[in-house]
Amino acid sequence: MKRLILALALLCALPANFLFCAVPAWAVEPDEMLRDPALEARAREVSKGLRCVICQNETIDESHAEIAHDMRILVRERVTAGDSNQQILDYMHSRYGDYVLLQPRFTTATFILWLAPLVILMLGGLAVASRLKRGGHEVAPLTPEEEAALASFNDSGDKAP
Amino acid sequence: MTESVPQPSSTAPRGKRWPYLIPLAALLALGGVFAKRLFDVENGVEISAIPTVLLNTPAPAFDLPPLPGSDQGLKSDELKGQVYLVNFWGSWCPTCVYEHPVLMQIAKDGEVPLYGIDWRDTPEKGLAFLSQRGNPFTRIGQDPHSKAAIGFGVALAPESFIVDKKGIIRYKQPGPITAAAWRDDILPKIKALQAEP
């Protein structure tokens, strides 16, 4: 196992293989970054929770779309102005709705999304429990006739080619 | 199978059979959802549009500089008390070229002030666009950094909004205003809103 991990690590270390490993990718340009590392870190964190509104499934942190760039700038302005992470997410949510949040909120529109895995897990659990309660599948032992038939198959001389 | 092969004698009671139909039912339900989507596309329902959460909420505040050659930019405070149509466009936006003749017609009809927000554009390119195709806008503001666009939850141009006398967003047109949309939806909505106190 250790060798396997080592091999994988070496594979990742090869630059030509970067496609196969999860390399962090972001689109933040140096001129966008805030001077204060703590604020910049918060801006990055908020950006990772916001979905680029024209690229379906990228965060604004990863997206090179122009609107994502402008949203990153806005996030940094708000961070600098002293807004909390939650306030920034709330603002974006108030403009673009659920779409913009990569972690959808628990609302009447999204409760199925959130609860479905739990419900499916519970149904599966119930199915397993009821099966265990019934004591599983008991197979009756072979009758003497069946034993005889089985023996005749074995003695019939059919050989696998 | 011949007679000589005995059937399994264990006739253990079989469980209920209907649970085996659950996957089939789920598959049919999924097929139904897909079919609905397909028919939606055929019937021209816009499915890529992000539904706006801004309907019936106050229009965001904005204060945008004018294009060169004009001294009037676009400031939300100055637009209150009237019904207006605000249109996000840009010289880089092909669909805006397609929409442009309709905007010119709206300007000619003169039923409603039409405010343009030149989004993510340079002033030179924005002016060139208008000098080439005509300027339908009552006033124009520049929004090079998407301040107003994000405020209106705009993702793609063109997009247009009707704002009522109290400054509330009452309608969103995702994509271009077509002649039919103007005639059938937007103009009647504007007339109704203008009649409100």
H/E element holding A126? Answer: helix A111-133
Per-residue pLDDT tens, chain B, 197 aa: give them.
444 555 554 455 566 788 889 999 999 999 999 998 888 777 766 555 556 789 899 999 999 999 998 888 999 998 889 999 999 999 999 999 999 999 999 999 999 999 999 999 999 999 999 999 999 999 999 999 999 999 999 988 899 999 999 999 999 998 899 999 999 989 999 999 999 88
Phi and psi at residue B141, to the nearest 5° = -120, 145
Of A53, A71, A146, the CB nearest to B6: A146
- Put simply, the answer to whether A95 touches B150 (Cβ < 8 Å) is yes
Predicted TM-score (pTM) of this structure = 0.71
Q: Which residue of A has its CA nearest to B145?
A: A70
H/E element holding B85? Answer: strand B84-89
Tokens of B9: 């004698």
Which positions in chain A touch B151 (Cβ < 8 Å)? 95
- Put simply, the answer to whether B150 touches A140 (Cβ < 8 Å) is no
- Put simply, the answer to whether B120 touches A53 (Cβ < 8 Å) is no
**A132 to chain B, closest Cα gap in Å:** 14
The complex scores an ipTM of: 0.75
Residues 6+ apart with CB under 8 A from A91: A78, A83
- Put simply, the answer to whether B12 touches A53 (Cβ < 8 Å) is no
